[in-house]
Structure 1
């Protein structure tokens, strides 16, 4: 085991991690800014080092072997620990300072979360805050790699991450004023099947993070032709408003636009799809004092 640890090249492990995340040699090479043969060679060298195949190359799409599935979360933990080593160099500042980095889905609204943010930064004025809008896949990846403090997202959350339920968003299907269905009542799901669709980037039929919205699309055969995508609710609403297609929006965010007459509610009206939003962090990384205090307040636990 000691010999294995000394011979293991971290760069090979990092390359393997990127291959899994990008789901391919070509896309991994683009992200790493190296050639495709270099990535293939790195994977081959890693497999020779560990003595077992990690990725099955036999099918059209790369798939991890059981050994690869066991190695991947460990590689993420190692990366998170290494990338955040500088945090450990300054464990006892005179006053709490530093940076809180949050990645969230677009326009997640929670008064409880906002209150916690307000109270924390009132008590710790030297701490900086960064909030970015990302997709579910991007948020989960950043958490696994220890690149952010906290994520607010839905979807399938890996077991290596800690989550707490925050809220439930209910969704409705809408069209804009220029659309041929605007103002029409007594519509059914059958009336919507041939309509162009606009949706969230993560809303992919058969995708990894299929939600209730995606499940309803699949069941009702809605949105077979996707005309536009965005991870930003405002941009998605814009595409619906100008008539590019029908699409799902959170009911509470769409309500003012329905009232103003720029959006029209379409079926289903009952049993609407919903999405659970979670607060998520990676317990395996080294937190700064500011991050530790912030997460402890959010999750009401000792970190």
Structure 2
């Protein structure tokens, strides 16, 4: 299993994702993580001709579970395809094709089906996931899901079952809408380099990052002054702790002093709370 930084980097760069659904009556994916499994063969009964190595697998638990697998259907973990699907042996009664997945992590805060159903960009995805194993995720849906996942730096856990009580569906929608408002207000421009990424059609792509990470050891708040809009490259550098904003002068500092953005001003002015900049600078950047 890759380390968190490597996994986050792969998710940031991947352009294609698929839903892989497991039914609790047939399998317990949580056990795979608890046992430390690094890989597993999964069914590929639909869309197998389009799947490629490196694609992201969003691990979807069906809602029909008991005990540790009880709870609503939704995205509970992430993995990646290690190769293309291959024909299953004739003795395999459950799959036309199989594909090897490399497990990444479980989500402390699963992305539940009821939350997707009321999300303006993801409600159609929730309607597509019914009976079956594999479901397509459109480019626009993956951009939104990826932004949500990468914006939750502290939701990654390697081997524990998600604590469902930590997740409140409507909070997820509200927070996503807040980040979307900020992105629109700054025209989706990275506050470090000013890059504006245009997508197909008339859209733009950017990522929201919590300067003081949410939850667990960091306990950062989900408020506008703690959110910075970044391009994928600088989002990853913030996750890695190699770039920061110096709290007093609010200039960019980089672990590599030869980096072209080191000691430069921010690309544009937008109020970021000093307390969160100080936390990231001292606790995450300076500790590397």
TM-score for both structures, normalised by structure 1: 0.19
**Which structure's CA Rg is the greater one?**
1
More helix by share: 1
Q: Which structure has the higher relative contact order (CA within 8 Å, separation 6+)?
A: 1
